[in-house]
Amino acid sequence: MDILNALVAFLNFVFVPAFGYGCQLALGALGVTLIFAVLRFSSFAHGDTMAFGTVMAIGFTYVLQANGITFGPLPTALLALPFAILCTALMLLGTDRLVYRFYRKKRVDPIIVTIASVGVMFVMNGINRLIPWGGVEEINFADGSRFLMEAAAFKEMTGLKEGLAIKTTTAVTVVTAALCVAALFWFLQKTRTGKSMRAFSDNEDLALLSGINPERVVQVTWIIVAALATIAGVLYGLDKSYRPFVYFQLLLPIFSAAVVGGLGSPLGAIAGGFVIAFSEVMVTYAWKKVAGYLFPADWLGDGLLQLLSTDYKVAVSFAILLLVLLVKPTGLFKGK
Amino acid sequence: MAQRNFLLFAAVGLLFVLTGILMSWNVSLQILNIGVLSAIMALGVNMQWGYAGLFSTGIMGSVALGGLAVVLVSSQPNPENWAAGGPQLLMSLALGVAVIAAAIIAAQKMALGRARNFTIAAILILGFFAYRYFFDQASLAIETINPENAGNLGGLGLPSYIAWIVGALMAAAAAWVIGKTALGLRSDYLAIATLGIAEITLAVMKNEDWLARGVKNVIKLPRPGVPYEVDLQQAPWFLSFANNIGADPITASTIFVKLVYLVLFGAVLLGLIWLSERALHSPWGRMMRAIRDNEDAARAMGKNVKARHLQIFILGAAVVGLAGAMLTSMEGQLTPGNYSPLRFTFLIWVMVIVGGSGNNLGSVLGGLLIAWLWLIVENAGPVIMSYATYFLPDGGLKSHLVESAAQLRLLTLGVILLVVLRFSPKGLIPEK
Amino acid sequence: MAAPFLIGEAMTGGYGPVDILHGCTIAVEKGQIAVIVGPNGAGKSTAMKAVFGMLNLRGGRVLLDGEDITKLTPQARVRKGMGFVPQTSNIFTSMTVEENLEMGAFIREDDIKSTMAQVYDLFPILKQKRHQSAGELSGGQRQQVAVGRALMTQPKVLMLDEPTAGVSPIVMDELFDRIIEVARSGISILMVEQNARQALDIADKGYVLVQGTNRFTDTGQALLADPEVRRSFLGG
């Protein structure tokens, strides 16, 4: 029995990665859930919105780097974020003007708007791949120092056999996500505009009667979604890497997170993000190492103690999604 | 109206004729065959969407299951692999099903409460480990034998036509599971859940080597009674035929094979249209449309909306699965890496919407037109892009744009979908 | 006689191609209570919505304080000083009582504290529950939130669509008392009611609508006393 080493191994291989990934999913799911709450449709273009924001951030990162501007130990992409968010916001507002506004005025069945978002997805997917510095290949744009804490340093410090490494990008993810969420909730709970968004989401007709301008609410929503999607995309890309197809595939865990939490509920989106991330990592992690510290070797046999191979990550989000739909379709935090 | 439809079909036909004249008849027929298969897929999706208003994003899953069925049914058996672990593998799969069934029975029979939750969890967890114990042994045993050429269970060696039917049934079974769960909830949930099942289907096909060799692909799948080019080139009757029409035997044989496929697929397509038109004008079809147009009213009249939706959802998926199986038979190989949701889910949606939702002819037209566009832009895109960037100086940007011109089709199709959805939401051939 | 403060004059129209209202006239004087009653399907709510601009009129006009507002949207009418409490979904269930009131005052740029204090004075229970989510309140309390929300714009006219639907008789009496209080503060009240007898009892003016036209129009008391109105619409 070596509980300390087991714990460190658990933290290093399960908790830290899952927590970072959970933050990224939560930010993505927040975007989906806000679109759903205010505009009342599920946006299939959200993965590509994240990709667009990330490509923009990569572009600005290159510009900054070319001018010799970096962010010290932190990734330069963080400095590029505001510009990238601005581009994404303009793009989303433009999309709304060209596509979604028409359906909103006509008050069509939300599923039609969802299908329109598939068209938007196609277009954005194409644009992302056509952007000169984007393309279809993997891009790694994280710079600055790689680790906040290296495994070797941790071992030396504690004298344990297991090391605990914390990547700079993971730390950046957690801090940025926490700031974003705090800012978002402050905005929704305390400001007049934020409250009007909630009111519009709650009861559109009554919001109109109260003199809330729907177009303004929608615009503010798109701007917030742009910020969330860009930040989520950039954090994911820093932590792993950017690739349009991977971002497109993030759609499923993000949707699952939003549904698990309850579509339309911001708090739920965050909880859902962590539920999905931790399940994915825990179900596909080979527990042999952690178990090796806790139990005698001859108990364990020679299996990896891995419930599912990592290729089945997608199955995990999906299984949780199905379970929630079966047991509690409104999600953990009562969505719509 | 009929005249308009005729003109539309004639226009699409002209596209294929022009492709034949300007590029080659081989290319044109190849695209046409894929177009016919796409049309069948669009027909299936149109059943779900046009007749019942169900938005599924799991079409790729049905297509892939159809392809898998071809390997399982029509490829040659691998007796050594089968002997190594086949029975045990089947047993473990049966165990898996039994575990899930036991959990469902427990969920239904036991009173709500902690004991029920605990029992269900215990059944699932213990069942999972038992299943994995037998399954891992068996799959490992199968995969280690002759991995270069087989390493999978192999098929039953039955005719392709049976494989097509099995493909339809497998797609239907998957649709049943999803439909049971997600139908009757918000319409977006079905879209999200189907997106998931498609990805899982693909993950299974890519990773379970014992099943269909995963990403190592299965090649040399038999043709559905269609002759091989090399055989034709040896056959005296064909050589004299080619000689009579004054064609080169090699080109003639490739075109002949494609024409045989065209007749075969065309017959299936026409048969399906006939069946679905019959169904649509039967009392059942009228009920389906009544439900789609006003769910609440239909429910008030005592119609079981959810059950009817489940029916049509399964039927649609089966048709798509059938087309998926036919596609794999024609290609002669199963390449899981080729299935992408953009190509096999969202592209089919573009076909249905552009063609005219709720209308079978519309789906066929949309299928042929969009398949042509998709495949032709792939070929012609770089050429167009090099003209479009003619004024740019040579260099990185220009070559990037020319190289990524293939991506233009995503953009083009997205724009087409958006334009049709907005300005002509009923599509090219509106529902009567 | 001077023109009434708010009048929907000879209104004709409906939601679709079929007219529901046929030359129907509804009016309310400053600080008075006008009640619309009538059998089911008589177009009571429709008449009220027509006054508020929620359907297109094919004939007739709506005047507020002498100004023709027929072409204005409901939102613009809110800015002109009309408050409307729909029959259902009339509160923001996921928001607190206080936030509901704040949203009611969304169009106001000035300080809303005193108005909110007045609403709390009118409905003391709301002050007690101001941080509670409105969706958790009882039916009667929800109606108070709904009325309070509409009052936050400091309207000159308050329009209520069946404010007592689904609440107990005791709560109904209480609500009517509050409505009288609102009217006394100078706000005109126009309301549609199912509970015709109680409503006419507090009404300065009553309108009995049948099939989209005015059947009887008189003071509330006169209508209550009219034997024909009693027999046909008040159940004897």
The model's pLDDT over C218-227, given as tens digits with 9 standing for 90+, comes to 998 999 998 8
The whole-angstrom separation of Cα C98 and Cα C130 is: 5
Who among B181, B192, B342 is closest to A255 (CB)? B192
Q: Is the dihedral of CA B330, B335, B336, B340 positive or negative?
A: negative
Residue A264 one-letter amino acid: G
CA B361 to chain centre: 19
The whole-angstrom separation of Cα A181 and Cα A266 is: 9
Cβ-defined contact of A209 to C75 (cutoff 8 Å) = yes
Cβ-defined contact of A303 to B407 (cutoff 8 Å) = no
Cβ-defined contact of C93 to A203 (cutoff 8 Å) = yes
The whole-angstrom separation of Cα C236 and Cα C227 is: 8
Q: Is the dihedral of CA A216, A221, A222, A224 positive or negative?
A: positive
pLDDT at position C141: 92
Instruction: Determine contact, residues B288/B52, Cβ cutoff 8 Å.
Output: yes
Reported as a single tens digit per residue, the pLDDT across B66-81 is 999 999 999 888 888 8
Reported as a single tens digit per residue, the pLDDT across C77-134 is 988 999 999 988 999 999 999 999 999 999 888 889 999 999 999 999 999 999 999 9
Reported as a single tens digit per residue, the pLDDT across B285-298 is 888 888 888 888 88
Mutation choice for A interface testing from C106, C115, C131, C161 by most A CBs within 10 A: C106
The whole-angstrom separation of Cα B29 and Cα C17 is: 53
Using alpha carbons, list the distances in angstroms from residue B127 to A314, B85, B114, B201.
21, 20, 19, 22
Mean pLDDT of B248-275: 93
Q: Which of residues 58-117 of B touch A (CB under 8 A)?
A: none
CA distance C149 to chain A (A): 8
Give one word for B375, left, alpha or beta, with left for phi > 0 and alpha for psi -120 to 50. Answer: alpha
Reported as a single tens digit per residue, the pLDDT across B245-259 is 888 888 899 999 999
Does the beta carbon of A140 lie under 8 angstroms from any beta carbon of chain C? no
- A123 contacts in chain B (CB < 8 Å): 410-411, 414-415, 418
| CB contact set of C220 (below 8 Å; sequence gap of 6+) | C33, C35, C199, C200, C201, C202, C203, C204, C205, C206
Q: What is the mean pLDDT of chain A?
A: 91
Torsion, Cα of B186, B187, B192, B194 (10° steps): 120
Cβ-defined contact of A314 to B181 (cutoff 8 Å) = no
> Both ends of chain B: CA-CA distance in Å?
10
Where does the pLDDT of residue A145 fall: very low under 50, low under 70, confident under 90, or very high at 90 and above? Answer: confident
Mutation choice for A interface testing from C94, C109, C111 by most A CBs within 10 A: C94
Instruction: Determine contact, residues C217/C226, Cβ cutoff 8 Å.
Output: no
Q: What are phi and psi of C35, to 5 degrees?
A: -125, 135
Cβ-defined contact of C91 to A203 (cutoff 8 Å) = yes
Reported as a single tens digit per residue, the pLDDT across A197-223 is 999 999 999 998 888 999 999 999 999
Who among A198, A208, A209 is closest to C94 (CB)? A198
Mean pLDDT of B98-103: 92
pLDDT at position A277: 96
The whole-angstrom separation of Cα A165 and Cα A159 is: 14
Q: Which residue has the higher pLDDT, C60 or B184?
A: C60
b/e code A255-289 from CB counts within 10 Å (16+ = b): bbbbbbbbbbbbbbbbbbbbbbbbbbbebbbebeb
Q: Which of residues 212-231 of A touch C (CB under 8 A)?
A: 212
The whole-angstrom separation of Cα B161 and Cα B326 is: 9
Q: What angle do CA B79, B83, B85 make, to 5 degrees?
A: 125
Size of interface A-C (CB pairs under 8 A): 58
Interface predicted TM-score (ipTM): 0.90
Cβ-defined contact of A195 to C102 (cutoff 8 Å) = yes
User: Among A80-94, B42-56, C77-91, which range has the highest average pLDDT?
Assistant: A80-94
Reported as a single tens digit per residue, the pLDDT across B298-328 is 888 878 888 889 999 999 999 999 999 999 9
- B197 contacts in chain A (CB < 8 Å): 318
Mean pLDDT of B350-362: 90
- A246 contacts in chain B (CB < 8 Å): none
- A122 contacts in chain B (CB < 8 Å): 342, 346, 350, 410-411, 413-414, 417
Cβ-defined contact of A126 to B411 (cutoff 8 Å) = yes
Using CA coordinates, name the residue in chain A closest to C87.
Answer: A206
Mutation choice for B interface testing from A52, A246, A252, A328 by most B CBs within 10 A: A252
Is pLDDT of B405 > 80? no
Instruction: Determine contact, residues B320/B45, Cβ cutoff 8 Å.
Output: yes
Is pLDDT of A262 > 60? yes
The whole-angstrom separation of Cα B78 and Cα B76 is: 7
| CA-only gyration radius of chain A, Å | 21
Who among A118, A255, A322 is closest to B181 (CB)? A322
The whole-angstrom separation of Cα C105 and Cα C115 is: 9
Neighbours of chain B (3+ CB pairs under 8 A): A
Bridge partner residues of A139 (DSSP): A242
Mean pLDDT of B222-226: 88
- A197 contacts in chain C (CB < 8 Å): none
Where does the pLDDT of residue C1 fall: very low under 50, low under 70, confident under 90, or very high at 90 and above? Answer: very low
Instruction: Determine contact, residues A244/A47, Cβ cutoff 8 Å.
Output: no
Bridge partner residues of A242 (DSSP): A139
Cβ-defined contact of C99 to A195 (cutoff 8 Å) = yes
Cβ-defined contact of A122 to B417 (cutoff 8 Å) = yes
The whole-angstrom separation of Cα B72 and Cα B328 is: 12
Does the beta carbon of A190 lie under 8 angstroms from any beta carbon of chain C? no
Given the candidates 3.30.460.80, 3.40.50.2000, 3.40.50.300, 3.40.309.10, the CATH classification of the domain at C1-73+158-165+189-231 is: 3.40.50.300
- A215 contacts in chain C (CB < 8 Å): none
Cβ-defined contact of B411 to A127 (cutoff 8 Å) = yes
Cβ-defined contact of A192 to C92 (cutoff 8 Å) = no
Give the domain ranges of chain C. 1-73+158-165+189-231
- Of all helices (H) and strands (E), which one includes residue A142? none
The whole-angstrom separation of Cα C68 and Cα C7 is: 10
Share of chain A above pLDDT 90, in %: 63
Give the domain ranges of chain A. 24-251
Is pLDDT of B385 > 80? no
Reported as a single tens digit per residue, the pLDDT across B129-165 is 899 889 988 888 888 888 888 888 888 989 999 999 9
CA distance B176 to chain A (A): 13
How many of the other CB atoms lie within 10 Å of CB of B26?
Answer: 14
Where does the pLDDT of residue C142 fall: very low under 50, low under 70, confident under 90, or very high at 90 and above? Answer: very high
Mean pLDDT of A84-107: 96
Cβ-defined contact of B422 to A41 (cutoff 8 Å) = no
- Of all helices (H) and strands (E), which one includes residue A312? none
Instruction: Determine contact, residues B229/B335, Cβ cutoff 8 Å.
Output: no
Who among A125, A255, A318 is closest to B410 (CB)? A125
pLDDT at position C2: 61
Q: Which of residues 405-424 of B touch A (CB under 8 A)?
A: 407-415, 417-418, 421-422
Using CA coordinates, name the residue in chain A closest to C93.
Answer: A202
Mean pLDDT of A312-329: 85
Neighbours of chain C (3+ CB pairs under 8 A): A
Reported as a single tens digit per residue, the pLDDT across C196-235 is 888 999 999 999 999 889 988 999 899 999 888 888 877 7
Who among C86, C93, C149 is closest to A202 (CB)? C93
Cβ-defined contact of B203 to A314 (cutoff 8 Å) = yes
Cβ-defined contact of A99 to B410 (cutoff 8 Å) = no
Mean pLDDT of A220-230: 97
The whole-angstrom separation of Cα A62 and Cα C167 is: 65
